Structure 1
């Protein structure tokens, strides 16, 4: 890297990097998605449309496009931004997302607005728009920059989104009422903060 920029994971073997990027991206985004506005949107979509697989497919398409761009942006940013302070920027971003996760979300989008598009079309459009600027998208940008692996970060974050939203689509309000949302948010926040500490310690 030019300018003496030090990325913490450059020295990690490829196999370990793949596992770290995939597993960390999956777990952190799955936890961050619990109670997030896109998960709440999944509940609304499931109540509005009968075709659950079309909703899942829409979430998958919207997420993989959105998060693919986000992971690329994160990798591009860390390659463009040079200097020994880059680790501090990444760590601060992890800390910020960790604190952001503690703030409960609400849904503003109304699925009926796109009902004429059907379950797949409405889900794809609404989910993509709802994810713009959302904490899970920001987390994907940070993870892409940290791990320098667009493919595995995108795969991991997409799996995390599906892991959190597929049960929500089929189980609906019963699942939401049983989830310990405050505890889950706290665990996700601690995980992001811990990742920030790890970045600074390497």
Structure 2
């Protein structure tokens, strides 16, 4: 069960500010919340089901410890990806000629291919070896995050800046990744890992400072 709750929390955070959450907000302006959520659910089941199967298959020929290290490192990459952010490329218009639920399903399925939440699902499936719990957790995470995008997006934008939400999610990701590296990398590499962690935190603090300056500039 721990894999379910971890996957749920992880994907919920991954979706904050992600392209698919932006899609949920866009589609909610055209269709009902129920139609959007059904489309998100169908697309996620198919997309993450494929991701879980791939994660299970990887463990048949790659040592589990190696996969754990790769998964931990990928969490850091997901954090950096979250900082980078996503923009819509017209996906909400591309499928407007289809019926609402099919339109949402197709758009979300294609938007998730190669997205960080799909890659996170592959990593989680390989990490926990609990495909069904991971699939349930990541699917619920998508629904929670996109539900927030639909129902609470306006409130969040009033209370917190998009930049603040994005950085919060990114820091959680990176923290999970660094903890994982310390847990799975051999002690003989601890000095290099300590150096990497120090430099990474310094660089992250610098990026956060620059991001804050840019946000203040836009406000002015």
Q: TM-score range by the shorter chain?
A: 0.7 to 0.9
In 1, the alpha carbon distance for the partners of 2:120 and 2:67 equals 16
Correspondence for 1:38? 20
5+ unaligned residues in a row in structure 1: which ranges? 1-17
In 1, the alpha carbon distance for the partners of 2:159 and 2:18 equals 15
| TM-score, L = length of structure 2 | 0.74
Distance 1:71 1:184, change over 3 A: farther
Correspondence for 1:101? 82
The yes-or-no answer on 1:75 pairing with 2:21 is no
Correspondence for 1:197? 178
In 2, the alpha carbon distance for the partners of 1:180 and 1:30 equals 18
> For the Cα contact (< 8 Å) 1:140–1:157, is it kept in 2?
yes
In 2, the alpha carbon distance for the partners of 1:112 and 1:95 equals 32
Q: Give the aligned length.
A: 183
Correspondence for 1:15? none
Stretch of structure 1 that moved more, 91-100 or 118-127: 91-100
> For the Cα contact (< 8 Å) 2:11–2:142, is it kept in 1?
yes
One of 122, 126, 133 as aligned partner of 2:114: 133
> For the Cα contact (< 8 Å) 1:22–1:156, is it kept in 2?
yes
5+ unaligned residues in a row in structure 2: which ranges? 185-220
> For the Cα contact (< 8 Å) 2:64–2:127, is it kept in 1?
no
The yes-or-no answer on 1:115 pairing with 2:117 is no
| TM-score, L = length of structure 1 | 0.80
The yes-or-no answer on 1:60 pairing with 2:35 is no
What is the CA-CA distance between 1:174 and the residue it aligns to? 4.4
In 2, the alpha carbon distance for the partners of 1:83 and 1:144 equals 11
> For the Cα contact (< 8 Å) 1:71–1:141, is it kept in 2?
yes
